[in-house]
Structure 1
Amino acid sequence: MDYFLTNTDDISDCDDQSDKSTSNNNHAKNHTQKSVLGENTGRSSRRKQSAPRSRLVRQCDECDFTSSMTSEFKTHMKFEHGHDQVFLCDLCRYYSLSSFDYQLHLNSHQ
């Protein structure tokens, strides 16, 4: 079951026209409780809920360097091996020095 809190915009847009100054806290709790219980609140979040990303450990093909940080891996490739552009897949451990090969790889995820 997914647990998430509702966006505050959802509460302010609610059709309930009760006195919001005195009952807003209880009303907000109602929306939150429905969301936690997996019930439909009648409102969808305007913000995209991003899934937690796992740390992808990348292994350099030219040496024994590994890193789970994108910027660190790109810096390594640039300064240790002279590759100015490295294309890293966000979905798996794949990387390429060629944008064409990288695009072909991205198509394989579809």
Structure 2
Amino acid sequence: ADTDNADRDKMLPTADFFDVAHFPQAHYQGGRCQPDGPAGSYRAQGTLMLRGVSKPVPLSLHFSMQGKSALLTLDATVPRLAFEVGSGQWASASAIGLDVAVHGVLKLAPGG
């Protein structure tokens, strides 16, 4: 991970946070997806599995075209303590928010 903070980047893989030694992958299983708001906006229901814990986490999706490329953006809010991320001395919201915003971008472009 690169969070623009070297100390934080070193802590994220540890057992206090993502515990990558025991849980090297997270999984998202998408489900029902429905239009939501302006054209190209959707709301997907799905389940996030993180640190061996599975919980429903909806995604806000937006699809658009940029020339010949397709762009898909996603946003979600993950309640970190529900997945035991940042527990123990980090469980307080004083240093890290209890809800973590996740943003992703996928750009699909023709090869060549």
- TM-score interval, normalised by the smaller of the two chains: under 0.3
Higher relative contact order (CA closer than 8 Å, sequence separation 6+): 2
Larger Rg: 1
- How high is the TM-score relative to the length of structure 1? 0.21
Q: Which has the higher helix share?
A: 1
Greater fraction strand: 2
